[in-house]
Homo-oligomer: A and B are copies of this chain.
């Protein structure tokens, strides 16, 4: 489970002279271990701190609260992985998750405490108390090196294990889109469409699944992004439904635009242009393509058709994060590589009136794009 990811991290750290490191960003933890705690209610109430990963000379130790034990056994059985759990909830004593987490950290670190040398820390994510424990235990012999973001470039190319998780998520998002399409009707509300989509996804998965991203009617002033509220779908309206599921710590994404009635001639024209823009974007995907060139060409198509260009990215990578590299944006000189998974999502928005966005996810293959999303984006 995620051994190839750990080997990539190991090589990268070694190449930069880091023999020991503490990872604290949730995306780092999931990518290194495959462990993805539930996120829907915020941080675990009794854990006392986030899951942490301690790296030392090719071995990875995951610190988690005992509530997650069952979800970490797969990682614990890995030759290069160990799980250390600390007590969280109890009704018999005062809650002391942080004290237990710190004690766990201290115990593991003490074993290697006298080595000295450079120690990497994700200082943008690690709580002060955990880093203080680390520095305290390792003493003055060690030098701290910030390693925030170091794993991000390693994450852009997906392996087979990750593709399987991504495909499972894309299939769930497709189910959500189909439910949303069925639910759109005049007089219904954004939140009604959303709950239908979310229920369908969770019933298909047989469990809770976090869901992003947007569900907004065309007559909102800000009509390209936003959470579902009680705005009604009016006659002649449009509704942008952008859904991303987060099962197994990986994400999907995808967007369609639905119409409660027969679309107007203007909406048909918008939809045709955005369809062309998405097809163009997909056709430009291949190893060696430059992100900013794709971005520029797709924007140009929208502009050439006489519409304002969209105030957001043309696309982005997806994996343990719902928006990661490569970013398909005006400044990005990222080069596409085989094995990257990329979302493409051009749109046209007429604020307060109507808008259309269409989005697919693609795998970069040696001969071009394999489209991973299968939701119906056609006009009714």
Contact = CB atoms under 8 A, between A and B. Distances in A.
A148 B230 contact: no
A227 B210 contact: no
A189 to B, nearest CB: 7
Interface in A190-239: 191-192, 194-196, 198-199, 202-203, 205-208, 210-212, 227-230
B312 A91 contact: yes
A252 B88 CA distance: 22
A218 B287 CA distance: 53
Contact of A199 (B39, B195, B212): B195
B189 A94 contact: no
A207 B189 CA distance: 10
Interface string A42-79: 11010011000000000000000000000000000000
A311 B91 CA distance: 8
Interface stretch (A7-15, A117-125, A266-274, A356-364): A117-125
A41 B124 contact: no
Contact of A127 (B128, B212, B313): B128
A26 interface: yes
Contacts of A322: 41, 45
Given A41-B39, A91-B330, A206 B189 contact: yes
A129 interface: yes
Given A41-B212, A41-B246, A48 B124 contact: yes
Contact of A42 (B39, B124, B313): B39
Nearest to A38: B227
A122 to B, nearest CB: 9
A184 B93 CA distance: 36
Interface in A305-354: 311-313, 321-323, 327, 329-331
B206 A229 contact: yes
A38 B39 CA distance: 11
A330 B127 contact: no
Contacts of A210: 40-42
A98 interface: yes
Given A26-B42, A98-B124, A98-B148, 16 more contacts: A40-B210, A40-B211, A42-B210, A45-B322, A48-B124, A123-B127, A127-B127, A127-B128, A128-B128, A189-B203, A191-B208, A192-B203, A194-B202, A207-B227, A207-B228, A207-B230
25 contacts: A39-B40, A39-B41, A40-B210, A40-B211, A42-B210, A48-B124, A91-B313, A92-B330, A93-B331, A123-B128, A124-B128, A126-B128, A128-B128, A128-B131, A189-B206, A191-B202, A191-B206, A191-B207, A195-B202, A196-B199, A199-B199, A206-B229, A207-B228, A207-B229, A207-B230
